[in-house]
């Protein structure tokens, strides 16, 4: 024991001597400072973030400590909720949540400016809640003719109605604008008056007097044939009289042939098939475009080969509002101007209307109907009336929870809707009066399709306006041209130029008369309008089995235990594709809702 203690003393002395010899670092200069301490580690200290609310401003910060120099924050995995962004310098997350409610998970990484840089990452998430739900008796989706008339009917019954409209205006496919010094209609223009219960007629004549309604299409019909060389006029003594062209005179029979159901016995043929069988006119025949653009396009907003011959006959056998077509004969009054005055302003004043609120979800899994719009706002009601177009339903722009029954899905997929546009063009002179008479309407051989002259019936105007109506395949071809040109204003210019070229080719004799007199035009492309996606509904093969069994009637059937109702021009069995049909359907659905609700002024408790 003794000896080991002595040895330890010797060793300690040696260690002390050795340390002194090292001189505190071996530099020999007498600098004895310790090395600087390493910087504190870079560290994200935030471990959770507060929840946000759709539509409400949000601001939270991701904090970090340590590291060297400047810190930079990035989202290294996942994504922040829609509407929020990360400030890379401060780590602040801010903005206004705009997406659908839910939780977004992401990783934030902070990096310093050391060389090499240090970094730290933290997995985080933000829950976005729906805005506090608003509650109403009934919600109407879409502020077109059907939606506004449904709301009008429900308001009259004492109901508290919310209207959710996707676009920034009401009226849907009734839309007036100004060209030159006159109002032109980019959607519905004709009023169907005489037979049946048409609520438009008394409302408008009551406001503006009987003389507001005038006949349109006053003048000759013109048909372009054979590249313009045989364009004919329905004028006795015309240089080329249509009465002398058997292909044209034969085509006039179609109006007394297509709707006779017994003449279309095969439920699987298109109207193009039946025209070929009956008249010997098929694609490639010089007169095909008369049946195609002059009939299928101008009346049904599609192409001949897409119409179901028997379906259409069954549908139009019941048509009874066509006896008396009138237009508004005042240069300062369009269809939507008149409806605004007689009804719409009143409906807007007596309901809650949200524009720019595209509905994305209709959820009937709970006790109330929960309707969510694109901003994430949720609205509750006992019932909902959906008045969007067939195009919007087919594109499934609204998610129904739970799924709609197959009969409803088959119904909207079993009704046709095609591309279509209205293109009013203003000219410096009525160059079309080639035969010295006014032009009533014109069937062209190319993409313009069918055109007429609204300025001839708008009293007081000094403008010369031709309206062209490219539908179906013509509209698809023009839409393709517009896309190739890059869309927007360049796309519209491409459409106008193609129509002008068609018009130039229609009239023999003069050189490019349309292009020479052209001043300005408007392109209203309903097929490309995101919340219409088509012109108006038509009967395709299979739409009708009979007057009672058909897809239009199937779509009228309420679903989700009498909580979702469909209405619009497409649900009218005998007068689809009209404003008056849409009004009647809005009223039908509203009365059906009132019958199951029966308790106005009692919205669900949020």
The reply to whether 184 sits near ligand FAD by the rule CB under 6 A is no
Q: What's the DSSP call for residue 261? A: G
The reply to whether 344 sits near ligand FAD by the rule CB under 6 A is no
Shortest spacing between CB 527 and ligand FAD, in angstroms? 9
Q: How far apart are CA 586 and CA 156, in angstroms?
A: 13
Cα 605 off chain centre by: 32
Q: How far apart are CA 483 and CA 477, in angstroms?
A: 10
Check if the beta carbon of residue 592 is closer than 8 Å to that of residue 558: yes
The reply to whether 337 sits near ligand FAD by the rule CB under 6 A is no
Pick the closer one to ligand FAD by CB: 110 or 398. Answer: 398
Strand spans (E) along 315-459? 325-328, 352-354, 359-363, 369-373, 378-381, 383-386, 399-401, 416-417, 421-427, 439-443, 450-452
Two tokens, residue 203: 């409302």
Distances (CA, A) of 68 to 35, 522, 595: 17, 61, 72
Shortest spacing between CB 488 and ligand FAD, in angstroms? 20
Stretch that binds ligand FAD, among 142-150, 277-285, 305-313, 448-456 (CB under 6 A): 142-150
The reply to whether 441 sits near ligand FAD by the rule CB under 6 A is no
Preceding amide of 282 cis, omega within 30: no
Phi first, then psi: what are they for 517, rounded to 5°? -105, 0
Pick the closer one to ligand FAD by CB: 491 or 586. Answer: 586
**Binder to ligand FAD among 554, 568, 584, 588 (CB under 6 A)?**
568
The reply to whether 582 sits near ligand FAD by the rule CB under 6 A is yes
The reply to whether 199 sits near ligand FAD by the rule CB under 6 A is no
The reply to whether 189 sits near ligand FAD by the rule CB under 6 A is yes
Strand spans (E) along 119-201? 119-129, 134-135, 138-141, 161-164, 176-179, 182-185, 191-192
Pick the closer one to ligand FAD by CB: 71 or 354. Answer: 354
Pick the closer one to ligand FAD by CB: 91 or 144. Answer: 144
Please count the CA atoms within 13 angstroms of the CA of 405 that sit on its side-chain side.
13
The reply to whether 513 sits near ligand FAD by the rule CB under 6 A is no
Between CA 235 and CA 244, with CA 239 as vertex, the angle to 5 degrees is 65
Shortest spacing between CB 289 and ligand FAD, in angstroms? 19
Shortest spacing between CB 175 and ligand FAD, in angstroms? 8
Shortest spacing between CB 153 and ligand FAD, in angstroms? 13
Distances (CA, A) of 337 to 174, 330, 501: 9, 11, 33
The reply to whether 73 sits near ligand FAD by the rule CB under 6 A is no
Shortest spacing between CB 230 and ligand FAD, in angstroms? 29
**Helix H or strand E encompassing 521:** strand 518-521
Sign for the pseudo-dihedral over CA of 257, 258, 260, 261: positive
Shortest spacing between CB 532 and ligand FAD, in angstroms? 5
**Binder to ligand FAD among 531, 547, 553, 562 (CB under 6 A)?**
531
Q: Which parts of 399-428 interact with ligand FAD (CB under 6 A)?
A: 420, 422
The reply to whether 371 sits near ligand FAD by the rule CB under 6 A is no
What would you measure as the largest C-alpha separation in the chain, in angstroms? 147
**Binder to ligand FAD among 83, 97, 144, 440 (CB under 6 A)?**
144
Between CA 186 and CA 195, with CA 189 as vertex, the angle to 5 degrees is 155
Pick the closer one to ligand FAD by CB: 86 or 535. Answer: 535
The reply to whether 340 sits near ligand FAD by the rule CB under 6 A is no
The reply to whether 64 sits near ligand FAD by the rule CB under 6 A is no
Pick the closer one to ligand FAD by CB: 449 or 568. Answer: 568
**Binder to ligand FAD among 387, 474, 506, 550 (CB under 6 A)?**
387
The contact mask relative to ligand FAD for 232-271 (x = CB under 6 A, - = no) is ----------------------------------------
Distances (CA, A) of 531 to 239, 356, 418: 46, 11, 14
Percentages helix, strand, coil for the chain (3-state, rounded to 5) are 30, 25, 45
Stretch that binds ligand FAD, among 29-37, 167-175, 459-467, 497-505 (CB under 6 A): 167-175
The reply to whether 535 sits near ligand FAD by the rule CB under 6 A is yes
Check if the beta carbon of residue 215 is closer than 8 Å to that of residue 327: yes
Give the interface with ligand FAD as residue ranges (CB under 6 A). 141-147, 164-167, 172-174, 187-190, 192, 358-359, 387-389, 392, 397-398, 420, 422, 526, 531-532, 535-536, 568-569, 577-580, 582
């Amino acid at each position: 024991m003794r000896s080991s203690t002595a040895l330890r003393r010797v060793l300690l002395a040696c260690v002390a001597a050795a340390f002194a010899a090292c001189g505190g670092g071996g530099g020999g200069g007498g600098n004895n400072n310790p090395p600087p301490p390493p910087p504190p580690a870079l560290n994200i200290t935030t471990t959770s973030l507060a929840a946000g609310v759709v539509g409400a401003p949000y601001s939270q910060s991701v904090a970090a400590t340590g590291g060297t120099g400047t810190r930079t924050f990035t989202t290294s995995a996942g994504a922040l909720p829609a509407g929020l962004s990360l400030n890379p310098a401060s780590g602040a997350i801010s903005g206004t949540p705009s997406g659908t409610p839910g939780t977004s998970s992401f990783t934030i990484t902070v990096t310093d400016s050391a060389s090499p840089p240090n970094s730290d990452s933290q997995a985080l998430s933000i829950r976005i809640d729906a805005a506090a739900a608003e509650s109403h008796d009934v919600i109407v989706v879409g502020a077109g003719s059907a939606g506004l008339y449904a709301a009008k009917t429900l308001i009259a019954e004492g109901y508290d109605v919310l209207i959710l409209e996707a676009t920034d205006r009401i009226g849907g496919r009734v839309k007036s604008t100004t060209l030159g010094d006159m109002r032109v209609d980019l959607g519905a223009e004709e009023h169907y008056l005489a037979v049946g219960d048409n609520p438009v007629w008394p409302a408008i004549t009551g406001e503006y007097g009987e003389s507001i309604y005038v006949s349109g299409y006053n003048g000759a019909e013109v048909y372009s044939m054979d590249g313009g060389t045989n364009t004919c006029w329905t004028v006795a003594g015309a240089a080329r009289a249509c009465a002398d062209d058997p292909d044209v005179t034969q085509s006039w029979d179609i109006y007394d042939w297509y709707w006779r159901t017994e003449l279309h016995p095969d439920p699987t043929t298109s109207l193009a098939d039946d025209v070929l069988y009956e008249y010997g006119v098929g694609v490639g025949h010089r007169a095909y475009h008369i049946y195609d653009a002059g009939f299928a396009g101008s009346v049904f907003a599609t192409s001949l080969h897409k119409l179901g011959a028997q379906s259409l006959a069954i549908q139009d056998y019941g048509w009874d509002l066509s006896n008396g077509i009138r237009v508004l004969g005042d240069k300062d009054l369009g269809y939507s101007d008149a409806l605004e005055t007689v009804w719409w302003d009143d409906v807007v004043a007596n309901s809650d209307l949200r524009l720019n609120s595209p509905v994305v979800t209709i959820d009937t899994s709970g006790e109330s109907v929960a309707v969510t719009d694109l901003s994430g706002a949720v609205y509750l009601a006992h019932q909902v009336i959906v008045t969007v177009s067939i195009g919007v339903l087919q594109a499934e722009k609204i998610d129904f929870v739970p799924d709609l029954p197959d009969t409803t899905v088959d119904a909207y997929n079993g009704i046709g809707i095609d591309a279509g546009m209205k293109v009013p063009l203003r000219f410096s002179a009525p160059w079309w009066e080639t035969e010295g008479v006014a032009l009533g309407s014109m069937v062209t051989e190319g993409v313009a399709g069918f055109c007429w002259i609204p300025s001839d019936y708008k009293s007081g105007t000094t403008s010369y306006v031709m309206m062209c109506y490219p539908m179906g395949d013509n509209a698809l071809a023009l839409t393709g041209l517009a896309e190739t040109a890059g869309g927007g204003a360049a796309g519209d210019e491409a459409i106008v130029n193609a129509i002008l070229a068609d018009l130039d080719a229609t009239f023999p004799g003069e050189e490019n008369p349309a292009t020479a007199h052209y001043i300005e035009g408007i392109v209203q492309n309903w097929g490309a309008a995101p919340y219409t996606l088509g012109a108006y509904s038509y009967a395709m093969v299979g739409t009708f089995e009979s007057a009672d069994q058909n897809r239009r009637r199937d779509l009228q059937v309420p679903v989700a235990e009498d909580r979702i109702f469909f209405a619009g021009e497409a649900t009218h069995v005998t007068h689809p594709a009209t404003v008056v049909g849409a009004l009647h359907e809005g009223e039908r659905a509203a009365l059906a809702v009132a019958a199951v609700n029966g308790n106005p002024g009692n919205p669900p408790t949020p």
